[in-house]
Structures are given as C-alpha cells and as structure tokens.
Amino acid sequence: MKLTNETKKSLHPPEKILQQGALLAAGPVALACSFSIEDVVLIDMIQRLQLPITVFALDTGRLNEETYEVAEAIREKYGIRIDWYFPQAEAVERLEREKGLFSFRESLENRHECCQIRKVEPLKRALQHLSGWVTGMRREQSVTRSAIATIETDSANGGLLKINPLVDWSSEQVWQYAELHHVPINRLHRQGYPSIGCAPCTRAIEPGEEHRAGRWWWESAEHKECGLHRR
C-alpha cells in the first residue's frame, strides 16, 4: 500500500495510530510481542479498543524466566491467545554443534547468524499470512530507531504495513500508562533493564546510558538491531 506523507508523519495518539493502521492494512494484523513494557502497553490498548489484532511472540530458546512470567500474566489478565514461534530445531542444533553456545560474542557476523536463526526466520513465518504488523518501537530508544515512522511500508517483509504506535512517546509516558492501567510488567524493567532480549545478550544499564546500551553491549550503538527491523 502506498502511504501519503501525511500518514507517514502523523502525530496522532497511539490509539488513533492503531485504529488507522488496522484500517489501512485491510487484512489480518498482529502485534509482535517481546513482552517489553512497550508491547504490553500496546496489548492493553488493543484490548480496550477491541481491535481485531492478534499477538505473536518469538521464543528464541534463550529468554529470561521473567519474560515467560510476564507472558503468562498477560495471557491470564486479558484472556488472549499468544501464538508462539520457535526457531527451526535443526538450525539451532547445527549452530551449537559447530560453533558452541556463545559464538554470537565472537563477531558481529556470528551474532547476526544467531539472530537470523533464532529471531528473523521465525518472524518470517509469523508474518506470512498477515497484511500488517504492530511493533513497540520508539524513536527515543536508540540511534537506529530515530527515523521510524508511525505507519510505514515494510519492504524487508514483502511490503506489509508496519504500525509503530509509540514512536513519539517517551519512556515516562509508557510507564505512566502501564501504571495507570495496572498492566503486568516484566520485573527486570525495575532492575535496570529498559530493553530486554535474550538472556545472554542483555544486561542492566548504568545511569546515563542510552536505552538499548544493555543489548549486545560489546558492540557499537549503530549495530544494535537483530534484523527484525531491517531498514
């Protein structure tokens, strides 16, 4: 779908962006949920608006226990089904046999290989039959996300509509919404983890560090994406 400049630059509240995106997609739409505070806030909005947007998640096999805990809390609170996608077992087995359990720390190429197997390939399957997908990305999070639009065409995934309702929100706004509506929150967020991915690739950040500094902390800031949001 061709988007107008007006749509791309829209500064509507997240609820309006969700509604507009679901309408523009003109087909099945799903939220890609990592159970970050941004994603669970979006689940709450979707449920309050009663939008026909489903939820899927990628189980990389290396998530924190706290992530599974909040996933179950979300499932129970909202009574929703979460469609889980796993990496191909043969690809994970081959990677670990040939390169060990921590090859992703040896080079950027190796890290991209691990993310490709554990995240990107399962995402491709999750998006196969969708017309659009929703993310919790915000411009404030990192330099790699500073130019994202509220609604954009995802050329890396076959031209799907990509809906980013929280792009203009600050961390404070996200937290205020979550606390106001009593949304279940990953307890790692309160332990210095503003961004949470796979357990071996995520650490708490120090005061003054940027939002995603704890993700792949041995890499430079411009490389801190896993390939899910390829531009």
Q: What are the tens digits of pLDDT across the range 70-104? A: 999 999 999 999 999 999 999 999 999 999 999 99
Domain boundaries, the chain: 5-223
CATH of domain 5-223: 3.40.50.620
DSSP codes of every residue in the chain: -PPPHHHHT----HHHHHHHHHHHH-S-EEEE----HHHHHHHHHHHHHT--EEEEEE--S-B-HHHHHHHHHHHHHHT--EEEE---HHHHHHHHHHH-S-GGGT-HHHHHHHHIIIIIHHHHHHHTT-SEEE----GGG-GGGTT--SEEEEGGGTTEEEE-TTTT--HHHHHHHHHHTT----GGGGGT-SS--BGGGB-PPPTT--TTTTBSTTS-GGG---STT--
Task: Find the range with the poorest average confidence among 156-165, 169-178, 195-204, 207-216.
Answer: 207-216
Told to judge if 114 belongs to the known catalytic residues of this protein, a careful annotator would answer no
- Per-residue model confidence (pLDDT) at position 114: 96
Indicate whether 56 pLDDT > 50. Answer: yes
Indicate whether 214 pLDDT > 60. Answer: yes
